[in-house]
Structure 1
Amino acid sequence: MPKRQIYLTGFMGTGKSTILNCLHQLCGLQKIEMDEQIVQEQGMSIPDIFAQKGEETFRNLETELVKRISHMDNIVVSCGGGTVMRQCNVEEMKKNGTIVLLTATPQTVYERVKGSHNRPLLEKNMNPQYIEQLMEARRPKYEAAADIIVKTDGRTAKEICQEIKERLEINDNTK
């Protein structure tokens, strides 16, 4: 594998956590779930960070974590949905990594996240129309950052991971 990290990006509910775990198991890569890492380090949930410290503080925590990750080898990272909104994060990720954009339709995202209360940006707007508006607002940055784009609608995690492995020419480490 020519680059040291794989960054899974995309809107919330596109399958980043699921694909992170699948690539970890299939390829033997270390894994980091950025949101989980921030929650662990801050000792509070993401909604609490947003409420008590603000979105800007959360985004700064993401940037600091991206900088630390960029020095690691053979790792797959599930980025928070907004990580690529900051160009400095994208530049850091591209230094040693490949950015994989996972996509899904607004309806698929809605079906996947409708029972979740851990998504502050959707909490008061949990509907396909709002999801579509937010996705469209972010799409140019997601697509500009992406090295490859993988659709997740109607596909199993294994099928998606297989496509990523083939496109990034990753060898199995779990023989």
Structure 2
Amino acid sequence: MKLFLTGYMGSGKSTVAEQLSQLLNLAYIEMDHEIERMEELTIPEIFEHFGEEYFRRKETELLKNTAEECIISTGGGVILKEENRRLLKKGVVIYLNASWDTICERLVNDQTRPLWNGNDDNKKEHFTGRLPLYKETADIVIDVDNKKPEVIAKQIVARLNSHH
């Protein structure tokens, strides 16, 4: 079983993937960290030196080359490319649905995300623009507001058991 965790930056994908990995005894890949490891650059450095499109190509390569049995914590923008959405459909897509308020609260002091460092109007537009793609791609939607990662992971396992 290949599980893809999707959702906007700050929705908890990486933390929940780690919890799920323990519950399901499956390896997990944190997509951004894996791209940083492969490129030997941080995400901000990749954006600065090569641009967002280059980074998006790296996401696609990673989706094409991941093992069949694993959990993948995707980057928040992975759903932007149609090819990626098709690749995600080869596994079970779990959308971690966080409200705008939750995202803002979690990212208030975050300086590591290139697409978060704009003005507030652009951020909200960016967020709402992606929502339909997350929903359309998802097999399972989990609301994450005011929930601990362990609780979210257990909800996912329960939904997976009823999903199959």
Is TM more than 0.5 here? yes
Mapping of 1:66-85 within 5 angstroms?
66-69=63-66, 72-85=67-80
Q: CA RMSD in A?
A: 1.3
Q: Distance in 2 between matches of 1:59 and 1:84?
A: 10
Residue pairs, 1:21-170, within 5 angstroms: 21-69=18-66, 72-95=67-90, 97-125=91-119, 127=120, 129-169=121-161
Segments of structure 1 that go 5 or more residues without pairing to the other structure are 171-175
Distance 1:156 1:114 in 2: 19
Q: How many aligned residue pairs are there?
A: 162
Return the offset for 1:34. Answer: 0.3
* Deviation of 1:73 (Å): 2.8
User: Does structure 1 residue 14 correspond to structure 2 residue 4?
Assistant: no
**CA offset digits 1:109-130 (Å, max 9, x no partner):** 11111221111011133x4x54
Q: 1:3-57, CA deviations, whole angstroms, 9 ceiling, x for partnerless residues? A: x210000100001011011001121110000000000000111111011001110
Which secondary structure state, in structure 2, belongs to the residue aligned with residue 14 of structure 1? coil
Which letter does structure 1 place at the counterpart of 2:55?
Answer: F
Amino acid at match of 2:81: R
TM-score w.r.t. length of structure 2:
0.94
Distance 2:125 2:84 in 1: 23
The percent identity for this pair of structures is 37
- Unpaired runs of 5+ residues, structure 2, are none
Corresponding residue for residue 173 of structure 1? none
The residue type paired with residue 121 of structure 1 is L
Comparing both structures, which one devotes a greater share of its residues to helix? 2
In 2, the alpha carbon distance for the partners of 1:22 and 1:40 equals: 22
What secondary structure sits across from 1:121 in the alignment? helix
